[in-house]
Amino acid sequence: MNIDDRDIVTSIRAQLAERIGQDRTEVWFGSTTHICVEADALVVSVANQFYQDWLRTNFRHDLEAAALGACGRALVPQFRIAPELAQNQQAHGVSPPAPPDCNPGKKNCAAKLHLAEATQGNHPATKVGRRWAQLEQFVVGTANCLVHKAAHMFAECPGTYSPLFIYGPTGTGKTHLLEGICRAFRQSHPRAGVVLLSAEQFTSSFLEALHGSGMPSFRRKYRDLELLAIDDVQFFNNKRATLVELQHTIDTLLRSGKQLLFASDRSPSSLKGFEPDLIGRLSGGMVCRVDPADYATRLGILRQWATKLGIELDGEVELYIASHFTNQARELIGALKKLQAASLAHERPITLAFADEVLSELIDHHGAVVKLSDIEKAVCEVLGIHGDTLQSSNKAKTTCYPRMLAMWLARKHTRAGLSEIGSYFGRRSHSTVISAQKKIEASMGQSASAKVPGALTLEETIRRVESRLRAS
C-alpha cells in the first residue's frame, strides 16, 4: 500500500468513527480488520466467516458512505477472509459483542448478531442517526384509516394477515407504516428476528451471495426470521433470478408460519415481470391501498411537524400550506422547513403574507403550467355543468360555488393576478376573488364534508379537478 492509499484508509477510518462512533470503530475496524483500496473496490479483510458476515450485514452502507466522503468517489466494499489475521485477533483479545445465547460456531449466529444490532436501531436499512418510525406518530385520515388498522393488527396479532401488502403513490407514508409495524412487532416480541430492507438491498445482497459470499449464509439470514419486510417491491421488475429466490424465501417463511410485509407503488396485479404464482403469494394475505392524504390529514401532518420543529402557526397559515401542497407529506414538511428558515434569516414572524411571499416559488413550480381555461374546463367536467357557466352573470348557488372553487384553484395553480382571474370568471372584481378564496379555505377548515353541487365533497371535488389538470 503506498502513502496515498494509507492516507485514504486513514481518512475512511476517521469517517467511520464519525458515523458509528469511535468505540465501535476500534472494536470492528481495529487491528483485527485490514482495509485497503484496490481500483474501485474497498477491500475489507477479516479473520473468519463470523466477522465477515457481521461486517457485511451491519456496516456495508457505512463503509460506502465513509469511502465516498474520504476520496470523493464511490468504492464498492468487498469482504475477504484472511486467516493470518486470526493470530492478530487472539493477540489483542478482541471479540465481538455477541447477544445472549449466541455461539460463533452455531449456524445462525450471524443472523442473531444481525438482529441484535437491529434491536439497537442500527439495521443497515435504517438511516444513520434515527430510529424506525412509530405507528403512533402516523397521522390517520379517511385515505389511510384501513391500512393503519391493518398495520396495528399485523403488529399486535401475528398470523392475522400475512403477507400484508401495502401500495400507493410516493409520499403517502408506506415506509413509515413498514417501520412502525417492525418497531411494534419487535417491542412485543423482543427476541424475534425482524429485518426491514428495500428491494434494492435484497437484490444486492442476493447477487453478492451468488457471486461470492455464498447462498447458504444469505438464506439463513432471511429465512430464519419471524418478520421479513421489504420496501419498494416494484424494484424487482424483471429481475428473474432475484424473483425466483424471493419466491422460495416467501414459501419458506409462510410454511413456518412467519410474517411477511411488503410495500410498493403499485398493486400486486400491476407488478411487471412477476410470475402469476408470485403475484398470488403477494396477494394471499391482505392487500391495502394508501391514498394521498386528504385535507384534514395534511393539516394533522403539518401541525405534528410544526410542533416537532418548534414553530407556531396561526390558522390562516395552516390553511394556506395544507391547501397548496397536496401531493406528498414531504412537500408539506419541506415547505414548513423553508418557512422556518426564512423566518429566522429575515427575523420576521410567520404571517399569511410572509408565507405567500416565501412559498410562492414552490407553488408556481408545483407542476406544469396551468391556464385559466384549463381550470374552467376541469371544474365544469367534474361537476357536470355547461362550459360557459362560470363566465356567466348567473348568481345561483349551483353556479356561484363552482365559480368560487375555480377562482380558488386559479390562485393555487396559475400565476394570474386577482384582477385577471376576476375578469375571466364573469368580469368580477379582485375583491370577489379574495372573498371566494377565503370562503373555500374556510369550508375546508370547518369540515371535510362541505358539499359542492352534486354528490361529491369539496375535498373529493378538488382532488378530481387537480387529477384532470395533471393529466391534461
How do residues 344-380 score in pLDDT, each as one tens digit? 888 888 888 888 888 877 775 445 577 888 899 999 9
Q: Which residues of the chain fall below pLDDT 50?
A: 1-3, 91-130, 365-366, 448-450
* pLDDT score at 228: 93
Residues 6 or more apart whose CB falls under 8 angstroms from that of 135 comprise 148, 151, 152, 155, 177, 180, 181, 183, 184
Maximal C-alpha separation, the chain? 92
C-alpha–C-alpha distance, residues 466 and 469, integer Å? 5
Best CA proximity match to 16, nearest among 68, 85, 52:
68
pTM value? 0.55
Q: Which residue has the cell 465513509?
A: 66
* pLDDT score at 124: 37
> Running DSSP on this structure, what letter comes out for residue 428?
-
C-alpha–C-alpha distance, residues 304 and 412, integer Å? 24
Work out the angle at residue 303's Cα, subtended by the Cα atoms of residues 302 and 305, and round it to the nearest 5 degrees. 65
